[in-house]
């Protein structure tokens, strides 16, 4: 079966073509029940009852069980639905941003809420229990915490700001590389560039959950540190360092911003002062500085078309990790430091006019790095605009996708083209 390919067909059809014990990893975010209409026949998510919806998802999970290698891992992100609440839940979302092919459920679609009016249906929980009953081993019910989630108008309950990411396997022993996530950030072996400009967006640090901050110290314990240092570091652990490991190169960034908008025009359209902005346009290393996250988010909507290049730049500019210089108590292999806990504090990706429900790359980077070996095959049964495929290409994994919307597949192919071309060249 062809890899690095998105099949324009229902996921069950693609799965049926796959041989047994073939995939290394499955990562997906299925359409949530009764949330939106993607504008074509046969899509999942619009089944009249949630039981029919769950039966469809389980039929997919049964096929995945067959095609997954014994060492494989499965990661399913699922959101919930309130009986009668799905329309009001998204009342604040920006209609104009939504694709013309995609709309909220029309009032004349009559889902059967099975007498559970106003009730949170616990669809993710039902799905997860059904998977366990079918033989899956549930390894984690990861909380995806969305600090920037949509506000809700509802006044008799709390706003919902989390979803589940179920991590499942079919065997007790499977591929799992925690260090693939941990090493990069702790030991700093990835590209780390910092804005040298004072306006560097440190305000965010006040809201950091310290249990999630990675330690940057190379020492495993105090004795070890004493042996290597003249005395102790008085302020150890007090400093929090903000890093943006995915930043583009200086040239990539300056080429990008210059091709999108003249400096003078950007100055006219923002409240940021000209001297700060001028640093973003400089090709000389001494004069250049990246915009801090806040400045980037303040200007990005002025930078023209939301195409693959833009999405890539936006993701890299917004990828922030925090570290302390505290002792690295979790450096020994086998321990789970906070940074790789089952609580993932990852902002949602802003909706684009092309796809409303595309997920943040960070959300799939972790499962791919930890749950699939390099060169392994990742399958996304609901590929949408190709986020899973892009992360696979960036991290040397192969992908296969299914997606019923031709429109999304076209967007995904355009987005993936530069990566696939690059692979052919090298």
Ligand X SMILES: C[S@@+](CC[C@H](N)C(=O)[O-])C[C@H]1O[C@@H](n2cnc3c(N)ncnc32)[C@H](O)[C@@H]1O
Kindly state whether residue 359 participates in binding ligand X, applying the rule CB under 6 A.
Answer: yes
What token pair was written down for 355?
A: 């796809």
Interacting residue with ligand X among 6, 18, 25, 29 (CB under 6 A): 29
* Residues facing residue 16 across a β-bridge: none
User: Does 351 help bind ligand X (rule: CB under 6 A)?
Assistant: no
Output the smallest distance, CB 382 to ligand X, in A: 3
CB 397 within 8 A of CB 43: no
Closest residue to ligand X in the complex (CB): 384
385 binds ligand X (CB under 6 A): yes
- 72 near ligand X, rule: CB under 6 A: no
Residues 10 and 1: their CA atoms lie apart, in Å, by 16
Query: Which residue, chain included where needed, has tokens 């060249």?
Result: 425
Nearest to 377 by CA among 363, 364, 362, 396: 396
Tokens of 162: 């989390």
Report, in Å, the least distance between residue 196 CB and ligand X: 34
- Type and span of the H or E element at 71: strand 68-78
Residue selected from 6, 10, 99, 354 as contacting ligand X according to rule CB under 6 A: 10
From 128, 403, 409, 415, residue interacting with ligand X (rule: CB under 6 A): 403
Q: Residue written as tokens 């995904």?
A: 412
Nearer to ligand X, 77 or 324 (CB): 77
From the list 84-92, 170-178, 290-298, 383-391, the region that binds ligand X by CB under 6 A is 383-391
Give the Cα separation of 200 and 196 in Å (integer): 8
- Using CB under 6 A, which of 33, 38, 253, 280 touches ligand X? 38
Of the candidate spans 37-45, 91-99, 122-130, 189-197, the one that interacts with ligand X by CB under 6 A turns out to be 37-45
Judge residue 236's burial from the number of C-beta atoms within 10 Å of its C-beta, 0-12 exposed, 13-18 middle, 19 or more buried: middle
Binder of ligand X out of 126, 340, 402, 415 (CB under 6 A): 402
What are the phi and psi torsion angles at 165 (to 5°)? -125, 110
Output the six-digit token pair for 52: 């029919």
Does residue 360 interact with ligand X by CB under 6 A?
A: no
Paired tokens of 120 = 């949170």
- The residue to which tokens 């009032």 are assigned: 107
Applying CB under 6 A, among 75, 253, 296, 382 the residue interacting with ligand X is 382
The angle formed by the CA atoms of residues 123, 124 and 130, to the nearest 5 degrees, is 90
Contact call for residue 6 and ligand X (CB under 6 A):
no
Contact between 165 and ligand X per CB under 6 A = no
E-state strands within 147-206: 162-169
Pairing state between β 398-402 and 214-215 = unpaired
Is 358 a residue that touches ligand X (CB under 6 A)? yes
Alpha-carbon distances, residue 16 vs 64, 65, 305, 372 (angstroms): 9, 12, 38, 22
Q: Which is nearer to ligand X, 217 or 402 (CB)?
A: 402
Contact indicator for 219, 187 with CB cutoff of 8 Å = no
Residue among 81 and 358 whose Cβ is closer to ligand X: 358
Strands 5-7 and 398-402: parallel
Instruction: Pick the closer one to ligand X by CB: 56 or 324.
Output: 56
Rg over CA atoms, the chain: 23
> Which one of the spans 80-88, 252-260, 306-314, 398-406 is the region binding ligand X (CB under 6 A)?
398-406
Distance in Å, CB of 360 to ligand X, minimum: 9
CA atoms within 13 A on the CB side of 388: 31
Report in angstroms how near the CB of residue 11 gets to ligand X at its nearest: 4
Told to check if 405 binds ligand X by CB under 6 A, we report yes
Interaction pattern, residues 406-425, with ligand X; x per rule: CB under 6 A: --x-----------------
In the DSSP assignment, the letter for residue 374 is T
- From residue 328 to residue 347, what is the string marking binding to ligand X with x (rule CB under 6 A)? --------------------
Q: Does 11 bind ligand X (CB under 6 A)?
A: yes
Is 365 a binding residue for ligand X by CB under 6 A? The answer is: no
Residue 200 binds ligand X (CB under 6 A): no
Q: Would you count residue 127 as binding ligand X (CB under 6 A)?
A: no
Chain residues in the site for ligand X (CB under 6 A): 10-11, 29, 31, 38, 43-44, 355, 357-359, 381-382, 384-385, 387, 402-405, 408
């Amino acid at each position: 079966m062809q890899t690095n390919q998105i099949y324009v067909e229902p996921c069950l059809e693609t799965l049926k073509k796959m041989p047994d014990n073939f995939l290394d990893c499955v990562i997906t975010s299925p359409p949530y029940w009764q949330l939106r209409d993607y504008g074509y026949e046969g899509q999942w998510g619009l089944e009249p009852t949630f039981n029919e919806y769950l039966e469809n998802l389980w039929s997919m999970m049964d096929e995945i069980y067959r095609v997954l290698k014994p060492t494989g891992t499965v990661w399913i992100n699922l959101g919930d639905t309130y009986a009668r609440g799905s329309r009001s839940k998204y009342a604040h979302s920006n209609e104009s941003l939504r694709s013309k092919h995609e709309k909220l459920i029309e009032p004349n679609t009559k889902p059967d809420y099975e007498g559970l009016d106003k009730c949170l249906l616990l669809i993710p929980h039902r799905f997860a229990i059904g998977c366990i009953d079918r033989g899956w081993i549930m390894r984690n019910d990861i909380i995806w915490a969305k600090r920037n989630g949509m506000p809700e108008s509802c006044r008799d309950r709390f706003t919902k700001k989390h979803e589940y990411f179920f991590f499942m396997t079919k065997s007790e022993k499977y591929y799992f590389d925690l260090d693939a996530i941990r090493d990069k950030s702790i030991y700093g072996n990835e590209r780390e560039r910092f804005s040298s400009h004072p306006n560097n967006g440190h305000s965010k640090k006040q809201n950091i959950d310290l249990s999630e901050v990675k330690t940057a110290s190379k020492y495993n314990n105090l004795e070890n540190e004493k042996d290597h240092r003249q005395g102790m570091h008085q302020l150890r652990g007090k400093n929090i360092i903000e890093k943006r490991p995915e930043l583009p190169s200086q040239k990539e960034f300056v080429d990008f911003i210059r091709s999108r908008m003249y400096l003078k025009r950007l100055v006219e359209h923002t409240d940021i002062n000209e001297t700060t902005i001028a640093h973003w346009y400089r090709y000389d290393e001494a004069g250049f500085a990246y915009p801090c996250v806040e400045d980037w988010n303040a200007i990005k909507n002025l930078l023209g078309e939301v195409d693959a290049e833009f999405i890539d730049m936006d993701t890299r500019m917004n990828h922030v990790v925090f570290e302390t210089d505290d002792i690295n108590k979790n450096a020994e292999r086998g321990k789970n430091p906070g940074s790789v806990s089952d609580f993932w504090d990852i902002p949602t990706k802003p909706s684009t006019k092309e796809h409303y429900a595309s997920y943040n790359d960070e959300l799939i980077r972790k499962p791919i790095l930890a749950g699939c070996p390099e060169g392994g095959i990742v399958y996304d049964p609901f590929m949408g605009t190709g986020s899973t495929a892009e992360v696979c290409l960036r991290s040397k994994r192969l992908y296969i996708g299914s997606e019923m919307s031709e429109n999304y597949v076209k967007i995904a192919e355009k987005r993936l083209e530069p990566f696939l071309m690059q692979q052919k060249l090298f």
